[in-house]
Amino acid sequence: MSIKPGEGVAALGKVAVLMGGTSAEREISKMSGAGVLAALQSCGVDAHAFDPAERDLSELKREGFARCFIALHGRRGEDGTVQGALELLRIPYTGSGVMACAIAMDKVMTKRVWIAQGLPTPRYVCLGPQEQSRERVLTVPDELGLPLIVKPPREGSSIGITKVEGYSQMQDAVALATRYDPDLLCEEFIAGEELTCAVLGAGTAALALPLIRIVAPAGNYDYQHKYFSDATRYLCPSGLVAAEEDSVQALALAAYRTLQCRGWGRIDVMLRAADRKPFLLELNTSPGMTSHSLVPMAARAAGIDYPQLCLRLLADAALDA
């Protein structure tokens, strides 16, 4: 379904922009949602803000909403739960379906699926709550080497992540990550260039947008540098040679299709400096739409402005079945 600003938007019906929510990424979601809402309204869409933290989702049906633009991030928004509720309400929504969202939100499950399909991702160790003794934690650097990354497996926006340079930092890194998730993901650190690839569409028709190369101060692309700092540089065009860009885009598409994503998504990739081999880090099924966000940036490079992007995603709203 292709809709241009000012043309045929009435066919989209009454639209709820789901934003806010209850995850650790609530504030970022509110920023994303505000941008999407303003863009849709500027195109003539009958769009309204809807915060699931403040209102019951059943009100969507009672108030006659025809479709939802999901601008929620993190748990209870990007993990298949809201998608499942909208399936029951029979209200089409943007982005991937229940299964794809549930798998992509869990970085360990995502890795297992990618590895099963032969797709490259950094080596990892996952420790459950009963496996996080000091003695066990201190064996992880022996398995993965140093430096390494410690993160909660079911959070986004770089929340709870630590780059560990030495054994003495492991306990503090574990304490931070387990504030957000009882499980712990320790991951091999890939030294190289940080890239992200936005994808639009579904299946064989999915389209990889131009890559963005992220250059953060001291290589530290954390929460602050993602959303509130002007020190981080985003290079689009990426500056990679054409063959490398094509290779990373093809890998991103394979990762996206393997999880059976639809609508849109963003795949984060590390390009190892030593041999230029790409490694998949994670897949975001509800990427940010703030002023610092990367999908709108990649879309602009492909000739799609922000309102057009929002309309395109909304027009593709669907149900699993």
Catalytic (active-site) positions: 25, 157, 227, 266, 268, 282, 284, 288
Longest dimension (CA), the chain: 63
Residue 303: exposure state from Cβ atoms within 10 A (0-12, 13-18, ≥19): exposed
Return the CA Rg of the chain: 19
Place of tokens 């003794």: 133
- 67's enclosing H/E stretch is strand 67-70
Residue from 185, 183, 133, 191 nearest 165 by CA? 191
Interatomic CA distance for residues 35 and 140, integer angstroms: 42
Rounded Cα–Cα distance for residues 139 and 156 (Å) = 26
Query: For 201, left (φ over 0), alpha (ψ -120 to 50), or beta?
Result: left
Identify the CA nearest to 123 among candidates 137, 102, 142.
Answer: 142
